[in-house]
Amino acid sequence: MPTIFGNLCCIVRRCIFSVLSIGPMPNHIAFIMDGNRRYANKRSLEKGTGHRAGFSALISILRYCYEMGVKYVTIYAFSIDNFKRKPQEVQSTMDLMKEKIDELLTEQSIVNEYEVRINFWGNLNLLNDSFRLSVEKAMRSTCHNTGPVLSVCVAYTSTDEIAHAIEMSCYEKRDMMKELHACSCKNDFFEEYDMQSVISVVDFERHLYTSGCPDPDIVIRTSGTNYCLFV
Amino acid sequence: MIGAQQFRTQFFVPNLPNPIARPAAIRVVSPPSILGSRITAVSAAGAPIAIPCGEGGDGGCNTLLLPLGLCREALPKHVAVIMDGNGRWAASKGMPAAAGHEAGCRALQGMVKLSCKWGIRVLTVFAFSSENWHRPKPEVDFLMMLFENVFMSLSGDFLREGIRICIIGDSSKLPKSLQNMATELEEITRNNSRLDLIIALSYSGRTDIVQACQKIAQKVKNGILKPEDITESRVAQELDTSCAAGYAYPDLLIRTSGELRLSNFLLWELAYTELYFAQSHWPDFGEDEYAEALLSFQKRQRRFGLRTTS
């Protein structure tokens, strides 16, 4: 009986989504998934249960997004500022995320069902080795998928992303200048040097983690707080 | 489209009221009884205000008048505002858009006055975005003229009230006369310290980030800086908004008219800013609405990525 009820709910949901899909749909939704711990505290649940419940909610939301045809979903999983929390909490959060990422790569997961391509955006050097390896494996094994794109922001802040993009742009220009200097003849050199040395918007954007992905159409933040850090 | 005819109205400087020089009228409903007691009073706008009294009687304390419920220590130091809705306000009253912009100017003066009174240190306002250049030419020309007239008529008040003016944005696109006026205003108010009023004119958050990137790249090219030394604080120093000494990042962003987006305003700076979206159009955003926004700010729990309890 639960299965029949479940199937019925699924059918009703898909009908509602079909109706919704007639109107304008966002191409890219970004989620700031706030409130896991408050959810657990409110229900007097054990520590860590909130994050697990948050992950289940995420999988449901991803399914709904993909059923509605949303091509890009970005989630804010862990900020660089969250590293300032207690070490045990940081470690257990990292362990949980690694466990869930490994789960997502199994046969029966939503990633394989919809052929999702997963990106991880952030300063991945800040992650511990085993977690970083899982992250790299997830990106490698889904990089050829042609379905919707799931971008997970981990060890991320927008200001760090921008500073990193500026640093990379400078490295790129510096290397280009050296190359130009090495192989240009004197007459052409100064003209080429001035034209090429300006970093353009395009150069800069190319070095953002988010390069290649359209801007979010809507940001949804749960738990009633009103700030961004996710521009 | 409405607008083409409306912006040929001449704008006369003497018509602009001067609220900065004139404090709001206060009706005191009960006299002070003992030293240290609170006086209940009502502002001209009808909002109840409590006047805290210090130890030395009311001689030193009557410079600070806060709406009830607001606590001075918990007020934001830096408030940013997206002043949206002048055109819609005017349309709702059957008036031309020019009237909306003029009313918007008056609302801004009111907010500057209140910010001074309530001890806000920095006020950043989004007056004209880089995208606004695509509006009809008569409207753009009118706005440029309005800005110039406002700067000219209020420069004395800014000096008197201790307000320091900074203009951020791509000033090269502004008319020469407005550029000169803006530079002069920044120069003559340079040493003021009561309130920093940062006016974003021809401004784009993305462009500000890219120009910071270009300035840094130039320093790398000239050997002043290594790429490895590029940190967030280095980037912040090169942004236009570094002129707000001490409180570079807004604590509170207010956007009027019910729109729920940033519209390319202060993208870097708003990382941890509390966002407040008011339904009223900008010309209607007065003392009550401002107090409500500040009250909402005071109720927020700002965690900056940390936990509040263990």
Residue A137's alpha-carbon distances to A98, A114, A156, A220, in angstroms, are 11, 18, 19, 28
Interface of A with B (CB under 8 A): 37, 79-82, 84-86, 89, 157-160, 162-163, 165-167, 169-171, 173-174, 177, 197-201, 204, 225-229, 231
CB pairs under 8 A between A and B: 99
The answer as to whether A16 is a domain residue is no
Answer whether B138's CB lies under 8 Å from B6's CB: yes
Tally of domains in chain A: 2
Name the residue with higher pLDDT: A185 or B196.
Answer: B196
Please state, for a pLDDT cut of 70, what percent of chain B lies above it: 78
- The pLDDT confidence band at residue B23, using thresholds 50, 70 and 90, is very low
Summarize pLDDT for B111-141 with one digit per residue, the tens.
999 999 999 999 999 999 999 999 999 999 9
Name the residue with higher pLDDT: A46 or B1.
Answer: A46
Summarize pLDDT for A130-171 with one digit per residue, the tens.
999 999 999 999 999 999 999 999 999 999 999 999 999 999
Is it the case that residue A191 has pLDDT exceeding 80?
A: no
Interface of B with A in 281-300 (CB under 8 A): 300
The answer as to whether B166 is a domain residue is yes
Q: What ranges in A2-127 are assigned the alpha helix state H?
A: 2-20, 36-42, 49-67, 87-104, 110-114
The answer as to whether B33 is a domain residue is no
The answer as to whether A136 is a domain residue is yes
The answer as to whether A62 is a domain residue is yes
Please state, for a pLDDT cut of 70, what percent of chain A lies above it: 90
Is it the case that residue B49 has pLDDT exceeding 70?
A: no
**A152 - beta bridge partners?**
A75, A120
Task: Determine the structural domain holding residue A179 and report its residue range.
Answer: 162-203
DSSP class of residue B125?
Answer: E
Distance from CA of B80 to the nearest CA of A (A): 13
The answer as to whether B185 is a domain residue is yes
- The pLDDT confidence band at residue B56, using thresholds 50, 70 and 90, is very low
Q: Do A170 and B216 touch (CB under 8 A)?
A: yes
B238 closest CA partner among B196, B268, B278: B268
Summarize pLDDT for A63-81 with one digit per residue, the tens.
999 989 999 999 999 999 9
Q: Which of B235, B274, B275 sits opposite A166 (nearest CB)?
A: B235
B28 closest CA partner among B13, B12, B39: B39
- The pLDDT confidence band at residue A1, using thresholds 50, 70 and 90, is low
Confidence (pLDDT) at B67: 84
Q: Do A170 and B231 touch (CB under 8 A)?
A: no
Confidence (pLDDT) at A55: 92
Is it the case that residue B16 has pLDDT exceeding 60?
A: no
The answer as to whether B123 is a domain residue is yes
Tally of domains in chain B: 1
**A219 - beta bridge partners?**
A30
Confidence (pLDDT) at A225: 60
Same domain, A174 and A65: no
> From the CA atom positions of chain A, what is the Rg in Å?
22
Summarize pLDDT for B274-296 with one digit per residue, the tens.
999 999 999 999 999 999 999 99
What is the model's pTM?
Answer: 0.80
Question: CA dihedral defined by B284, B289, B290, B291, rounded to 10 degrees?
Answer: 150
Name the residue with higher pLDDT: B2 or B88.
Answer: B88
- The pLDDT confidence band at residue A21, using thresholds 50, 70 and 90, is confident
Mean pLDDT, range B175-188, rounded to an integer: 95
Summarize pLDDT for B220-245 with one digit per residue, the tens.
988 999 999 999 999 999 999 998 86
Residue B278's alpha-carbon distances to A207, B129, B158, B255, in angstroms, are 36, 20, 27, 6
The answer as to whether A227 is a domain residue is no
- Token pair of B300, please? 């927020």
Is it the case that residue B6 has pLDDT exceeding 50?
A: no
Q: Which helix (H) or strand (E) holds B254?
A: strand B252-255
Is it the case that residue A124 has pLDDT exceeding 80?
A: yes
The answer as to whether B48 is a domain residue is no
Confidence (pLDDT) at B31: 41
Q: Which helix (H) or strand (E) holds B124?
A: strand B122-129
Q: Which of A37, A167, A197 sits opposite B221 (nearest CB)?
A: A197
DSSP character string of B143-197: HHHHHHHHHHHHHHHHHHHTEEEEEES-GGGS-HHHHHHHHHHHHHTTT--SEEE
Computed over every residue of chain B, the mean pLDDT equals 82
In the sheet that holds B274-277, the strands lie side by side as B163-168, B195-203, B122-129, B78-82, B252-255, B274-277
Query: Can you list the pairs that A57-64 forms with residues at least 24 positions away whose Cβ atoms lie under 8 Å?
Result: A57/A33, A58/A31, A58/A33, A59/A110, A61/A31, A62/A110, A62/A116, A62/A150, A63/A110, A64/A13, A64/A17
Same domain, A35 and A94: yes
The answer as to whether A31 is a domain residue is yes
Q: Which of A81, A163, A171 sits opposite B231 (nearest CB)?
A: A163
Q: The domain spanning residue A127 has which CATH number?
A: 3.40.1180.10
Same domain, A132 and A192: no
The chain B residue lying nearest A47, using CA atoms, is B310
Q: The domain spanning residue B277 has which CATH number?
A: 3.40.1180.10
Residues 6 or more apart whose CB falls under 8 angstroms from that of A44 comprise none
Strands B122-129 and B78-82: parallel
Confidence (pLDDT) at B8: 45
Using a CB-CB cut-off of 8 Å, the residues of chain B touching A84 are 305-306
- CA torsion sign for B83, B88, B92, B96 is positive
